[in-house]
Amino acid sequence: MQYSIDQNLTRINASPTSLKQKVYTNLQRSIIELEYKPGELLRKQELCKEFGISRTPLSEAIALLMQDGLVEVVPQAGTYVARLSMDDLHEGAFIREALELAAIKLLADIITEPQLVKLKRNLRLQRVFIDDEDFQGFYALDAQFHAMLLDFTGFEKLNRVANSAWINVDRVRRLLLPIAGRVEETYQEHVEIFGTLERGHPTEASNALEKHLRKLMTYITPLEKSHPEYFT
């Protein structure tokens, strides 16, 4: 496959620390977006050439990706994109659900008008991207919608913890984008969640969000059979 490398990273002059971070961020995004498929070999020599870097910052970036659970190094064989584990996906979804449900119960009581405006603007853009069949654009807005729910609580660490738990779920969700009707269904669930916040009903908000998050797992579970090559 052709590696999709941010052109700004090629042949840049930067400190080793910033190089490591930029390579890590770029590779992490590419793995999450399935530009590198689960089980795929990462060719270090080609990556070094594309980035215009030595092996040291690449190895350091790969070490960070290992901590994320996104790559695995097989001795005498090479570095591979980690395959998905259904156990990890269920655990990540459980953690994310616990955080978001607690957040939205709090948020329904304290959400401000400017915050509601931001959520409504996000929903309008979701509608546009769906109508344009720009599913990657919709996916980004979907992630932003959920990030705002956590950010608006005022707790600064929530998104970092949630994203860490959710990182492999993010990968597998990319396989759902072609499923007929799922994007529209997701949008309508977002609209319902917004409505409960606008009305200021914590229980309704929690129920709507719980239904939304658990619906996702009903779509994810069958993927282990339809895409066995991606799973451990």
> What is the pLDDT tens value at each position of the chain, 232 positions in all?
433 444 444 443 445 568 899 999 999 999 999 999 999 999 999 999 998 999 999 999 999 999 999 999 999 899 999 999 999 999 999 999 999 999 999 999 999 999 999 999 999 999 999 999 998 899 899 999 999 999 999 999 999 999 999 999 999 988 876 677 888 999 999 999 999 999 999 999 999 999 999 998 899 999 999 999 999 9
**Residue 53, pLDDT score:** 92
What does the domain layout of the chain look like in residue ranges?
A: 7-81, 86-230
Grouping H, G, I as helix, E, B as strand and the rest as coil, residue 232 is coil
Q: Would you say 88 and 168 are in contact if contact means Cβ atoms under 8 Å apart?
A: yes
Task: Say if 7-81 and 86-230 have the same CATH topology.
Answer: no
CATH number of 86-230: 1.20.120.530
User: pTM of the entire structure?
Assistant: 0.84
Candidates 3.30.300.90, 3.30.365.10, 3.30.70.380, 1.10.10.10; correct CATH number of 7-81?
1.10.10.10
- Tally Cβ neighbours within 10 Å of residue 28: 17
Token pair of 174, please? 């990319």
**Residue 4, pLDDT score:** 42
